[in-house]
């Protein structure tokens, strides 16, 4: 069942967040009726489809169908050309496939959000705030920043006035805040300040406030407490010395004498009490040898000899919609040079086996995408399905211990994604990613 497929144009522009389309001409070049299925292949297959996907044609007939493109408005799909293929399958003859190749030129767009952490700051002599910028666009951006105090009550200084933020990542800059009018007592009036951010196409402003706080009360309090402690120690020591030197009066039997307020003593031949009497014997009180100890809350520590670990870096391959994780700096440089985008660090893993750890396996599936797992059974299953084992990045903890955090795996359209950020897990679940659960534990 011979057939022919052609594109109306080999290249089409697509704007993220909007729909574009290009015509696809299907022709029956055989001598019998035929049914043809059309399928889109390549990185665009997640957001491109043919409408209708099935065409019935008589011999010699042709029909134009639509190739619909709906690229997401996200930084995970970078700007620039993306190749794709439209494949034509003849239902009656599976060996008679035809294909045509084209290119989608994804239009660049800028979008970023900024926030100030914390928004309210108490300052004695100097404080610090952090400006966090998230690049929601599909190209790297250069953000220039400028801080100002409208009432000139604060001295503001940015550690760096320029920030480079790759697509789909975040970066931060530090801001020193110093009140120009210092106080010795109490709190002063809150002073407001703003930070202006500007990229090539967009601007944003974040606002914060700083409240001057007197530093003298804390110094005085510490001094008074220290003096009171010293005076108490001196008086207590003096009382102990006096008590040891004098001691209580005792009788012939060695018992303490109790002195009472009484009239002058009677004569020796008179009967009746004198002014001095012996105190009654003291009944000893039994004291247990040891009090029962309270339970002490313990925290499981890291195994002996475990170091800080090495950073597990994430890179994104837009051509395959594939995420690659590695601890090798040379591999990172090689992958970036080949077109992958580095997206920061997931956490830290161990380069060598330690107690309580298991290897994090790295496999490459038949479609060219990677999958990472610490489950030996899943590794064997993936290998039987045709996945090829590659070099393991390192070792993760199989159970939570002190100082570790959970490493989650999420998937969407067959693409696995690792993260140790619980907030990112919730954000991606809201966007349709399936949470496959914890795959190990890593160091922060």
Residue 177 burial class via C-beta count within 10 angstroms: exposed 0-12, middle 13-18, buried 19 and up: buried
Distance of CA 136 to the CA centre of its chain: 17
Q: Cα separation of 381 and 29, whole Å?
A: 44
Q: Is residue 182 in some structural domain?
A: yes
Does 120 fall in a domain? yes
Query: What digits encode the pLDDT tens for the residues 117-162?
Result: 988 888 777 788 999 999 999 989 999 999 998 887 888 999 889 9
CA atoms within 13 A on the CB side of 382: 22
**Structural domain ending residue among the three candidates 106, 121, 150:** 106
Same domain, 92 and 128: no
In this structure, are 167 and 64 located in the same domain? no
Residue 87 lies in a domain: yes
Domain that holds residue 194: 112-212
Beta-carbon contacts of 103 under 8 Å, excluding residues fewer than 6 positions away, are 10, 11, 12, 81, 82, 83, 84
Q: Are 55 and 90 in contact (CB under 8 A)?
A: no
What whole-number distance in Å separates Cα of residue 438 and Cα of residue 431? 19
Is residue 102 located within the same domain as residue 118?
no
Domain boundary among 173, 196, 212: 212
**Cα–Cα distance, 360 to 378 (Å, whole number):** 12
> Per the structure block, which two tokens stand in for 165?
């933020």
For residues 328 and 431, membership in a common domain is answered with yes
**Residue 199's domain is classified under what CATH number?**
2.60.40.2310
- Does 194 reside within a domain? yes
Q: Is residue 193 part of a domain?
A: yes
Instruction: Say if residues 334 and 350 touch (Cβ distance below 8 Å).
Output: no
Whether 92 and 137 map to the same domain: the answer is no
Verify that 351 and 432 share a domain, yes or no.
yes
Query: Angle at Cα 434 formed by Cα 431 and Cα 436, nearest 5°?
Result: 145
Residue 103 in tokens: 């290119």
Q: Are residues 207 and 118 in the same domain?
A: yes
- Quick one: 188 and 97 in the same domain? no
State whether 68 and 153 are in the same domain.
no
Residue 65: which CATH number?
Answer: 2.60.40.10
Residue 184 belongs to some domain of the structure: yes
Residues 68 and 11 in one domain: yes
How many domains are there within the chain? 3
Same domain, 60 and 172: no
Q: Is 322 inside a domain boundary?
A: yes
Is residue 368 domain-shared with residue 391, that is, in the same domain? yes
Each residue's pLDDT tens digit in the chain (444 positions)?
Answer: 578 999 999 899 999 999 999 999 999 888 889 999 999 999 899 999 999 999 999 998 999 999 999 999 988 888 889 999 999 998 887 777 889 999 999 998 888 999 999 888 887 777 889 999 999 999 899 999 999 988 878 889 998 899 899 988 999 999 999 887 765 555 667 888 999 999 888 899 999 988 787 655 555 556 666 777 777 777 766 665 555 555 555 555 555 554 444 455 544 444 444 444 444 554 454 444 443 333 333 334 566 556 678 999 999 998 888 999 999 988 999 999 999 999 999 999 998 888 889 999 999 998 889 999 999 889 888 988 888 888 888 999 998 887 899 999 999 988 999 999 989 999 999 999 999 999 999 998
Q: In what order do the strands lie in the sheet with 370-373?
A: 370-373, 357-364, 388-397, 434-442, 405-412, 415-419
Q: Does the global pTM surpass 0.75? A: no
- Domain limit, last residue, from 106, 123, 143: 106
């Amino acid at each position: 069942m011979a057939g022919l497929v052609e594109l109306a144009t080999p290249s089409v522009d697509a704007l993220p967040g909007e729909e574009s389309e290009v015509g696809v001409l299907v022709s029956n070049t055989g001598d019998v009726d035929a049914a043809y299925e059309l399928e889109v292949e390549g990185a665009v297959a997640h957001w491109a489809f043919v409408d209708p996907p099935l065409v019935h044609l008589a011999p010699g007939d042709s029909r134009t169908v639509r190739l619909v493109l709906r690229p997401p408005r996200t930084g995970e799909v970078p700007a620039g050309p993306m190749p794709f293929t439209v494949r034509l399958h003849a239902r009656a003859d599976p060996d008679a496939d035809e294909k045509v190749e084209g290119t989608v030129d994804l239009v660049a767009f800028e979008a970023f959000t900024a926030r100030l952490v914390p928004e309210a700051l108490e300052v004695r002599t100097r404080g610090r705030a952090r400006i966090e910028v998230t690049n929601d666009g599909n190209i790297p951006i250069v953000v220039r920043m400028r801080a100002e105090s409208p009432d000139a009550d604060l001295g503001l200084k940015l550690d760096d006035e320029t920030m480079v933020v790759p697509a789909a990542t975040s970066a931060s800059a530090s801001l020193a805040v110093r009140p120009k009018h210092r106080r010795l007592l109490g709190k002063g009036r809150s002073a407001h300040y703003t930070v202006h951010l500007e990229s090539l196409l967009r601007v944003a402003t974040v606002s914060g406030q700083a409240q001057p706080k007197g530093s003298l009360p804390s110094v005085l309090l510490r001094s008074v407490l220290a003096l009171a402690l010293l005076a108490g120690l001196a008086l207590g020591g003096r009382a102990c010395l006096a008590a040891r030197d004098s001691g209580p009066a005792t009788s012939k039997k060695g018992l303490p004498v109790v002195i009472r307020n009484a009239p002058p003593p009677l004569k020796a031949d008179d009967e009746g009490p004198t002014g001095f009497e012996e105190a009654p014997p003291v009944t000893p009180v039994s004291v247990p040898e040891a009090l029962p100890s309270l339970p002490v809350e313990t925290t499981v520590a890291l195994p002996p000899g475990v170091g800080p670990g090495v950073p597990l870096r994430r890179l994104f391959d837009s051509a395959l919609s594939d995420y690659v994780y590695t601890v090798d700096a040379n591999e990172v440089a090689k992958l970036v040079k080949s077109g992958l985008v580095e997206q920061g660090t997931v956490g830290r893993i161990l380069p060598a086996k330690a107690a309580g750890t298991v290897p994090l396996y790295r496999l490459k599936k038949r479609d060219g995408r990677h999958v990472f797992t610490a489950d030996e059974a899943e590794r064997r299953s993936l290998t039987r399905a045709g996945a090829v084992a590659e070099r393991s990045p390192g070792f993760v903890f199989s159970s939570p211990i002190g100082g570790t955090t959970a490493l989650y795996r999420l998937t969407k359209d067959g693409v696995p994604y690792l993260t140790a950020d619980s907030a990112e897990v919730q954000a991606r679940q809201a966007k349709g990613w399936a949470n496959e659960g914890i795959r190990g534990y890593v160091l922060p």
